[in-house]
Chains A and B, each alone.
Chain A
Amino acid sequence: MTSIILAIVIGAAFGATLERIGAANPNVTTRMLALIDLHLMKTILLAIGVGSVLMFGGQMLGLVSVGHLSVKAAYIGVFIGGLLMGGGWALSGYCPGTGVCAAATGRKDALFFIGGGLLGAAAYMATYPMWKASGLLDNLAGGKVTLGTIPGAEYDGLTGLPGDLLGIVLGVTLIIVAFLLPERGHGGQVQATPAE
Chain B
Amino acid sequence: MLNWKTGGVLLGVVFFLAFALVKPIGVSTQFVILDGILWQAVDPTVITQTDEGYTSTNAYLAKSGGKYAKNAANPWNYSFVFVLAMALGAFASSAMRRSVSREERAVPAIWRANFGPSAGKRYLAAFAGGFIVLYGSRLAGGCSSGHMMSGMMQTSLSAYIFVAGAFLAAIPLAMYLYKREA
**A interface, CB within 8 angstroms of B:** 3-4, 6-22, 24-28, 30-31, 33-37, 39-40, 42-52, 54-55, 58, 63-64, 68-75, 77-110, 112-126, 128-129, 131-132, 140-142, 144-148, 150, 158, 163, 166-167, 170-171, 174, 178, 183, 187, 190-191
Contact = CB atoms under 8 A, between A and B. Distances in A.
A69 B57 CA distance: 31
B31 A118 contact: yes
Nearest to B94: A105
Contacts of B148: 44, 48
Interface in B144-182: 144-171, 173-175, 177-182
Given A10-B85, A118-B31, 20 more contacts: A10-B82, A14-B86, A16-B90, A44-B148, A51-B19, A68-B23, A86-B171, A90-B169, A91-B173, A100-B86, A102-B90, A105-B90, A106-B94, A108-B106, A109-B122, A113-B130, A116-B133, A119-B130, A120-B138, A124-B134
A107 B100 contact: yes
A86 B138 contact: no
B143 to A, nearest CB: 5
Contacts of A117: 31, 130-131, 133-134
Contacts of A112: 123-124, 126-127, 130
A21 B86 contact: no
Main secondary structure of the interface of A (DSSP, over half): helix
A52 B135 contact: no
B5 to A, nearest CB: 7
A92 B126 contact: yes
Chain B interface size band reads 35 or more
11 contacts: A13-B14, A15-B88, A15-B91, A25-B108, A81-B137, A82-B163, A85-B143, A86-B167, A123-B131, A144-B158, A178-B4
Nearest to A5: B81
A86 B169 contact: yes
Contact of B143 (A24, A68, A95, A115): A95
B49 interface: no
Contacts of A27: 108-110, 182
Given A19-B99, A83-B165, A116-B129, A46 B175 contact: no
Contacts of B151: 71-72
Given A73-B158, A81-B165, A3 B78 contact: yes
B136 interface: yes
Contacts of B53: none
Nearest to A93: B108
Nearest to B167: A86
B20 to A, nearest CB: 5
Interface in B28-48: 28, 31-32, 34-35, 38-39
A125 B129 contact: no
Nearest to A168: B155
Contacts of A132: 59
Contacts of A78: 139-141, 147, 158, 161-162, 165
Contact of B145 (A28, A97, A129): A97
